[in-house]
Structure 1
Amino acid sequence: MCRWLAYSGRSVPLEAVLFQPEHSLIDQSLNSRLGHTTTNGDGFGVGWYGRQSEVPFRYRCLHPAWSDTNLREAARAVRAPLFVAHVRAATGTPTQETNCHPFRFGRWLFVHNGLIREFPLIRRDLMMAVSPQLFRWIEGSTDSEIMFFLALTFGLERDPRGALEQMAGLIEEVGHRYNVEHPLNMTVCVTDGQQVVAVRYSSEADSRSLFHSTSFRQLRALYPDDPRIIAAGDDAFLVLSEPLIDVQGVWQEIPEATILTARDGVIDHGRFRPRMPDLST
């Protein structure tokens, strides 16, 4: 499958998260410990927010993350207070730049790990549910991008939780209509640069791994001289597919069927309940 992470806190160089930890996201692209695939080499992407831009910046490439020297240079140069990154293991769609995460619309970025089962069978029905005003912005052929545009259709920009629950509910309803037993498996993250919203959910109640950091204050106490931890600040936050360092108590696994929202150092957990959208309007 894939691996991803999202960071929010004080502005830090991207390399502090993407490259420098012992089990960084770039290491995970080659040697994932908790993923369904060890290697995630079918492209990667990074999206980040700058102070002067309403639209987040994005760098995507179809080559493996571990071999991209431009990514390493960019990660040294770019500092951001919020960013998402993704390394891809393709599940039936081509390895091409437009299929690399994060997907973007306006201020919003979206990453996904998992799959819609029997996607070629139910793709048409799902695509027809995307708003006509949004449909022209779909660039690639992945199930992940369709998930994003369904969430946008169902009001992601005003109600992220409700939109994601309706997106999941529609996928499950359409899948069951085509006799797909467990249509959806996902960990997803969406952000508008102000909040980070992450979900762990699957139709079979056996989702991909997902964790969040417990306290950067605790990390600072453990590593008082680490400049990366000092720079991130006590309210920094990470949500990610698998831990970056092997230290007990630093990471908390996100339970099955849970939605998490992080904003201004406050983290809220809630039960994620897929539901059918009202398609009559």
Structure 2
Amino acid sequence: MCRWLAYSGAPILLDGILYKPAHSLIDQSLHAKMGVETTNGDGFGLGWYGTHTITPAVVRDIGPAWSNRNLQEIAGHVRSSLFFAHIRASTGTSVQQTNCHPFRHGRWMWMHNGAIAEFHRVRRELALAVDPELYLAIEGSTDSELMFYLALTFGLEEDPPEAVARMAGLVERVGHEHGIEFPLQMTVAVTDGQRLWAFRYSSQRASRSLFYSTRVETLRSLHPDLEFLREMSDEARLIVSEPLGNLPGAWNAVPESTYGVVQPEGDRMDGFTPVPA
């Protein structure tokens, strides 16, 4: 499987999140504690929104994140108010640049941890459900990218929770028709550059780990002596596959079968149920 993080808040240097925490995403690329694999070295990706464009920049590579000097150089010089980072452990598809997350379509970005079970058996049927015009934009061979384009087909740009629910419902229906007991395992992050959605769901109701950060103002009251908390904006939010450190009170598990949205009008969390296809 994989590890990922998503940040939303006031613009910050990327390395403050990617490299500096005790159990940063870069550390997790070698020493993950909650994933299926300890090492996530089958590529990485970074996607961020700048101040002058509505589409995100995306950088991806097939090498491990822990030794990539270009990644470190970018992280030390780029500021963003919304960015994704992903380290990959392949579940069977090729280690190639087009299979690294995050995936981009227009202003949208998507990344995933998990798998469609026995993907090789259901891939053709799922691919045929993608809108033909959107299908032309698929570059790689992963289940993750196909999930993204199915969600786009089902209206991601208008209603992300409904579109992801319809995607999950289709994957489960097709999987069950092929005799697969638990077709889907996913934690997903998706954004349009303004709002950020995160989903935690699996057919087995035993989903991969996912956490969200406690509000900064609450952490300041719990830890008034920590200088870095005084420098963070009140609107800063992190969603991560596993905590970036062991600061008491900083991390909260996303409940099973749940999605949340980080947005200017106020964050919220709700239950997630696939829509039968």
Residue 267 of structure 2 aligns to a residue whose secondary structure is strand
Q: How does 1:61-76 map to 2 (within 5 A)?
A: 61-76=61-76
Correspondence 1:33 to 2:30 = no
Task: Give the Cα–Cα distance (whole angstroms) in 2 for the partners of residues 141 and 71 of structure 1.
Answer: 24
Q: Is the 8 A contact 2:219 2:249 kept in 1?
A: no
Give the C-alpha shift of residue 265 in structure 1: 7.2
* Structure 1 residues 223 and 28: alpha-carbon distance in aligned structure 2, compared to 1, 3 A threshold: farther
Look up the match of 1:84: 84
Q: Is the 8 A contact 1:200 1:207 kept in 2?
A: yes
Q: Paired residues, what number?
A: 276
Give the C-alpha shift of residue 231 in structure 1: 3.9
Q: Is the 8 A contact 1:43 1:64 kept in 2?
A: yes
Look up the match of 1:226: 227
Look up the match of 2:270: 270
Task: Give the Cα–Cα distance (whole angstroms) in 2 for the partners of residues 89 and 223 of structure 1.
Answer: 38
Residue 77 of structure 1 aligns to a residue whose secondary structure is coil
Task: Give the Cα–Cα distance (whole angstroms) in 2 for the partners of residues 230 and 207 of structure 1.
Answer: 34
For normalisation by structure 2, the TM-score amounts to 0.97
Q: Is the 8 A contact 2:54 2:193 kept in 1?
A: no
Amino acid at match of 1:102: P
Give the C-alpha shift of residue 234 in structure 1: 1.1
Look up the match of 2:160: 160
Look up the match of 2:109: 109
Task: Give the Cα–Cα distance (whole angstroms) in 1 for the partners of residues 265 and 77 of structure 2.
Answer: 25
Q: Is the 8 A contact 1:30 1:66 kept in 2?
A: yes
Amino acid at match of 1:13: L
Task: Give the Cα–Cα distance (whole angstroms) in 1 for the partners of residues 88 and 220 of structure 2.
Answer: 31
Task: Give the Cα–Cα distance (whole angstroms) in 2 for the partners of residues 134 and 161 of structure 1.
Answer: 19
Residue 41 of structure 2 aligns to a residue whose secondary structure is coil
Task: Give the Cα–Cα distance (whole angstroms) in 2 for the partners of residues 61 and 114 of structure 1.
Answer: 20
Cα RMSD (Å) = 1.1
Q: Is the 8 A contact 1:9 1:81 kept in 2?
A: yes
Task: Give the Cα–Cα distance (whole angstroms) in 2 for the partners of residues 265 and 230 of structure 1.
Answer: 23
Look up the match of 2:129: 129
Residue 20 of structure 2 aligns to a residue whose secondary structure is coil
Task: Give the Cα–Cα distance (whole angstroms) in 2 for the partners of residues 44 and 223 of structure 1.
Answer: 35
Q: Is the 8 A contact 1:10 1:231 kept in 2?
A: no
Q: Is the 8 A contact 2:212 2:240 kept in 1?
A: yes
Correspondence 1:54 to 2:54 = yes
Task: Give the Cα–Cα distance (whole angstroms) in 2 for the partners of residues 162 and 136 of structure 1.
Answer: 23
Correspondence 1:44 to 2:14 = no
Give the C-alpha shift of residue 26 in structure 1: 0.5
Q: Is the 8 A contact 1:187 1:201 kept in 2?
A: yes
Task: Give the Cα–Cα distance (whole angstroms) in 2 for the partners of residues 19 and 220 of structure 1.
Answer: 22
For normalisation by structure 1, the TM-score amounts to 0.96
Unaligned runs of 5+ in 2: none
Unaligned runs of 5+ in 1: none
Residue 94 of structure 2 aligns to a residue whose secondary structure is coil
Amino acid at match of 1:144: S
Look up the match of 2:146: 146
* Structure 1 residues 28 and 133: alpha-carbon distance in aligned structure 2, compared to 1, 3 A threshold: same
Deviations 1:231-275 (A, max 9, x none): 430111011100011022111100110011111272211110101
Task: Give the Cα–Cα distance (whole angstroms) in 2 for the partners of residues 26 and 264 of structure 1.
Answer: 29
Residue 76 of structure 2 aligns to a residue whose secondary structure is helix
Deviations 1:167-202 (A, max 9, x none): 000000000000000000000000011111000000
Runs of 4+ in 1 over 2 A off after TM superposition: 218-221, 223-227, 229-232
Residue 266 of structure 1 aligns to a residue whose secondary structure is coil
Look up the match of 2:196: 196
Give the C-alpha shift of residue 223 in structure 1: 5.6
Task: Give the Cα–Cα distance (whole angstroms) in 2 for the partners of residues 191 and 109 of structure 1.
Answer: 5
